[in-house]
Amino acid sequence: MVAHRGASAEEPENTLAAFERAVEAGADVVEFDVRMTADDVAVVLHDPTVDRTTPGTGAIRDLSLREARALGIPTLDEVLTLLSGRIAVDIEIKNIPGEPDFDAEREVAVEATLAALEATAFVGQVILSSFNPFSIARSLVLAPDVPTGLLTEPTTDPRAALRFAAEHGHSWILPFVERVVEAGPDLPQETHEAGLLLGTWITDDPATAVALMRGGVDAVATNDPVAILTARREAFGH
């Protein structure tokens, strides 16, 4: 059970409060997003701009660490320090073509994330995931022992993602939930036979989450970990 951007149904997404609440609730994994400031510091923020989730405006890549801190945006080091030894993490690298902070030449967010994991001596399981296959490919080159996950858009066929991920050495495929449901009950077994694990994003519906778990999906991401964990306990006793 993956807490998507923390317990974001209860606390502001990608904040220390949301991550703390996810740990308290008993989530298995916390998922969050990494972007870079103007002075090349890794921070935790979903959007390329700060407009939606903070009182500020503009692209995070144009703001300094001091300016990001003033808006309440946590650094990656702060998040890893909070969560180390307490919960697994799925770190999504945000480096998307067409967005204002897209880095086509160098995967600086990947480099910064791997450096932060080492600098904080993070204790726990880690997955680096991205919609950008070049980002997770770079991660495998720099840190082949860190598992990687291929996120795919709502229009992408999970079996196409499976073939690609298997060919390129990734550990997880992470398709959109409706595509997983449409792919039918054989997809988890096919994924496992290929040597990979299957996660999905996102559902806040307890019945859907339990059905996915019963069907063999390895990880289900949700904004509402309390509701999904309650349903899981009722269904499985844990």
Give the burial class of 26: count Cβ atoms within 10 A of its Cβ; 0-12 exposed, 13-18 middle, 19 or more buried: middle
For every residue of 176-204, DSSP letters joined together read BHHHHHHH-TTHHHHHHHTT-EEEEB---
Active-site residue, 4 included: yes
> Do residues 7 and 31 make contact, with C-beta atoms less than 8 angstroms apart?
no
Exactly one of 46, 168, 170, 192 is catalytic; name it: 46
- Residue in the block written with tokens 């090349």: 40
- How far, in Å, are 7, 37, 156, 175, 208 from residue 178 at the CA level? 22, 34, 10, 8, 10
Helices marked H in the chain — which ranges? 16-25, 65-70, 76-83, 108-119, 133-142, 158-167, 177-183, 187-193, 206-214, 225-236
210: tokens are 């339990």
- Residue in the block written with tokens 């989730």: 53
List, by residue number, the catalytic residues.
Answer: 4, 46
